[in-house]
Amino acid sequence: MDSRNFILKGNFAYSESQQGITARENAWLVCADGISQGFYAEIPAEYRDFPVTDMGDRIAIPGLIDLHIHASQYSYRGTKMDLELLDWLNQNAFPEEAKFKDLDYAKKAYSIFAENMKHSATTRACIFATVHEEATELLMDLMEETGLKTMIGKVNMDRNSPDYLEEASADASAEATVRWLEKTIHKYRNVRPILTPRFIPSCSDELMNRLGTIRHTFGIPVQSHLSENQGEISLVEELCPEADFYGDAYDRCGMFGGEPGTIMAHCVWSSREELQRMKKQGVFVAHCPQSNANLASGIAPVRRYLDEGLSVGLGSDVAGGSTESIFRAMVDAIQASKLRWRLVDPSLKPLTLEEAFYLATRGGGAFFGSVGSFERGYELDVIVLDDQNLKHPQPLGVRDRLERIVYLGDERNVWKKYVAGSEIF
């Protein structure tokens, strides 16, 4: 029997819309060939041979999705948080990333990252590596072993970067990217490559145009950064005077929406015109509230994204963010939206728990396809949460217990983990 055929019995919480959390108690969830077959009050005859895991009083939720994280920065998360973005990159991020030229160092650092991601509540992630081909492939190898579904990118940067990290030319960067893709695009079951121009300030027009051609040739998605910091936006205006706005500089190169997908992290200062272009072309926003606070970038108007119908998920943005926990990203998203509502724009109501949970599951999961829910037909990613350590004097319902786990829990509350129906632990 396929090991991805099984039944879970117990309590469940998931999103069917942004406005609510659907809670089911003492239910049976059927997984066949890694796909949810929905809930049943009793096990149907055709599934009675499937093995059953009784979760007891635990709560199962869809796996959490991280749309933006830098594996190469994981080594110094939680440190050096006293600088704004551009200075932080030059003084902290770039010197660390240069170390990944040494494969021994890369293996040590990436092994820690992969092991911690495996045991987190994250089941899928979009990940930045570095400019180094071999180290990026090593990261892909390690993440493949975890069983998580990830998209990993070799970073491109051929200008405005330190000599010790900057690629020699647009041609050299593009050729390295093609070599890396040819080695990895069909190598894995769980890992997919994703084009990763770091951001417009570090990628010349020539390189961006070359990457647009590579994207079309190989048919792969794109991840980058957009409108994170006001100094960054001013620099883009100087470098790309012909662009109507920051996102337009990506769009002119065929790197801003359309199939097979684009993620832009942050969008803290995106203009209305930029947001309209993103909605029209299906660009995903990776909302990274902790990083925006740590690097003093601002308070992103996530309520506006939702009201205008953009595709939005959450990102930890390690090491701009201090932790890979998407539970923490949910809390930070709620708290940051409250500050923006109270201090900046009272018309933008703060996020609710229901909305933040949606972003962490179904919202971000949409970048991977039918992912992030327990509804029939979705790929079944499951996190089973044990909250016995979060003692409470009164009985609580599933929704309130989930809220307490989001605010008080961490990876120690993860009892079981499944990705596309495969049991990780």
pTM over cut 0.85: yes
5-26: pLDDT as tens digits: 999 999 999 999 999 999 999 9
The pLDDT of residue 101 is: 98
The pLDDT score that the predictor gives to residue 80 is 82
Asked if 68 contacts 286 with a C-beta cutoff of 8 angstroms, the reply is yes
Radius of gyration from C-alpha coordinates of the chain: 21
Q: Give the pLDDT score at 14.
A: 98
pLDDT of 3 strictly over 90: no
Cα 14 to Cα 362: distance, rounded to the nearest angstrom: 9
At 196 the pLDDT is 98
Instruction: Find the mean pLDDT for residues 132-155.
Output: 98
List residues bridging with 128 in a β-sheet: 70, 153
Q: Find the mean pLDDT for residues 289-301.
A: 97
Quote the pLDDT of residue 296.
95
257-280 pLDDT, tens digit each: 999 999 999 999 999 999 999 999
Q: Own/partner pairs for 334-338, CB < 8 Å, 24+ apart? A: 335/289, 336/289, 336/292, 336/293, 336/299, 336/300, 336/302, 337/299, 337/302, 337/303
CB-side exposure of 284: number of CA atoms within 13 Å?
Answer: 30
* Confidence bin at 2 (pLDDT 50/70/90): low
Amino acid in position 61: I
E strand segments, 129-273: 149-153, 155-156, 191-193, 196-197, 222-226, 262-266
User: SS3 of 386, please?
Assistant: coil
Q: At what angle do helices 103-118 and 133-146 cross, to 10 degrees?
A: 30
CA atoms within 13 A on the CB side of 35: 7
pLDDT tens figures, 154-194: 999 999 999 999 999 999 999 999 999 999 999 999 999 99
* Mean pLDDT within 311-316: 98
pLDDT digits (tens, 9 = 90+) for 203-240: 999 999 999 999 999 999 999 999 999 999 999 999 99
Instruction: Decide: residue 287, CB within 10 A, 0-12 exposed, 13-18 middle, 19+ buried.
Output: buried
Confidence class for position 81, pLDDT limits 50, 70, 90 = confident
Domains of the chain listed by start with CATH number: 6-62+373-423 (2.30.40.10), 64-368 (3.20.20.140)
Asked if pLDDT for residue 73 goes beyond 90, the answer is yes
Residue 92 pLDDT exceeds 80: yes
